[in-house]
Structure 1
Amino acid sequence: MWLDAIYHALDPIAFSLGPFAVRWYGLAYFAGFMCAGTAIYRVSRRWGLGLEMDDVINVMVAVALGVILGGRLGYVLFYGGGYFLANPLKVLAINEGGMSFHGGLVGALVAGGIACRVLGLSLPTICDLAAIGAPLGLFFGRCANFVNGELWGKQADVPWAVMFSETGGGMVYRHPSQLYEALLEGLLLFVILFALSRRRPAWPQGTFLGSFLALYGCFRFLIEFVRLPDPQLGYLLGTTWLTMGQCLSLPLVLAGLGLLSWARVMRRDQRAFA
């Protein structure tokens, strides 16, 4: 089990600076936003949008704040299981883990919308650009989950199964569901959207955000079948069916399909302001 050996050789702390420990999780967030920003800028130039680097940086800073605040709030609301009602100060303890993608998505949309309004940018176009870069952030984030030994999968006997005994997974081999998500929600989704972005003229507004929501929702729903649910929630229907992640992913698929339909009907150019 070569992945098992690699996992046990990894430390969640990348390096230390005196009393401060720099974790791979924090570096993953940084790398994700940097790579996403680079992708957004390159695609915007290909589309001839005239976006300046300062505009991209300002939007990315706003989105980063939205992701962190929304991700934490989403985790508290959807995955807290009553814990945070009894321990309200723990809501601020982000260093102890607990972030929700779905909450982070809402936070990113709200913060990005505010930034677009202030900067005078087209929100639908910026959302499409962000959808192309977002999978890169998901890729690094899921890799960091693997390094931390969290969010592991169900017991498995596949050749690439991993034992997470040091982080509570027991003496059994499990699906490395974090890596499944990194490959599907991260790399594959980015390759699909980036390839679509090379079409000239560009696909109409809403195409990329709609595709991102629909595909992410499908990938996440499927991977939840081999990923253990959060222990404080368990399965929502019976003992083996329907996790909170699946419940939150279904609306994303519907919203994505709705956006794709809207994009096909409206056919708004990416350079249109709205």
Structure 2
Amino acid sequence: MKGIMEATKDVRAIEVENVSFSYNGVRALTDITFSVDEGEFVAVMGPNGSGKTTLLRILLGMLKPESGKVRVFGFDPCRDAEKVQSLVGFMPQKEHISTKPPLLVKDVVLMGRAARKGILSPLSKEDVEKAREALEAVGLEKVWDTKFSELSGGQQQRVLLARALAVEPKLLLLDEPFNGVDIPSQNRIIELLDRLSKKGVTVLAVVHNVSPLIHHIDKILLLNKELIAYGSPGDVLMPENMIKAYGAIIPIIVCEEGFAHPLFGDTHG
């Protein structure tokens, strides 16, 4: 692991060059190019079917692009899958956690560390400590021995975030982390992600509503099968870009501090 961390010095967290991908001949992404520096907090937005989740899967090495180049801290996610997975924490959009047998919260949070160690390697004291720390970071240390199925939707989302954090990632990939999350939980998650990015963790989060994040993110990646715009929120949230992405005029309110807030984003079906 130390060798991998050394190899990631002085390289960008994410580099995507001219990437295209199709599902059974139907184009999902076309000629996507962008880069993310280490420690940046980037929101990915666009309408349903715009390729947001597909992009995350490509970064994870779950999908191989038809063309183009992808690097995560200098590694190819498909060719160097194990190295990339050791650097990334992933929170999927929705995840079904089996209730037969019923899993405790601690079991869910420890899944990520267990997966990295392999089936034959037992969990260590350090693994348990890191899992507890991750659960504490999302404000749920008191539910360690609670059944996961007994938690509210918002609490379950925070537990899944803790699972991603427990592996001590250099890069966090989050797919709709606020689905089913109440406002207090959402604010807690946003504050946590903001602190992590300030400590050098790179965060790429797919969101349907960027407004709650506006004061925290560095950049927005606006997507609709092709890259519509990429840059600071003020540069991206322009009427012409929103029309290109959503096919309609999206009202944008600029607050006194100068931050732009679109009145609505996409919804995920």
Task: Compare the two structures and name the one with the higher helix fraction.
Answer: 1
Higher relative contact order, structure no. (Cα contacts within 8 Å, ≥ 6 residues apart): 2
Q: TM-score, normalised by structure 1?
A: 0.25
Q: TM-score, normalised by structure 2?
A: 0.26
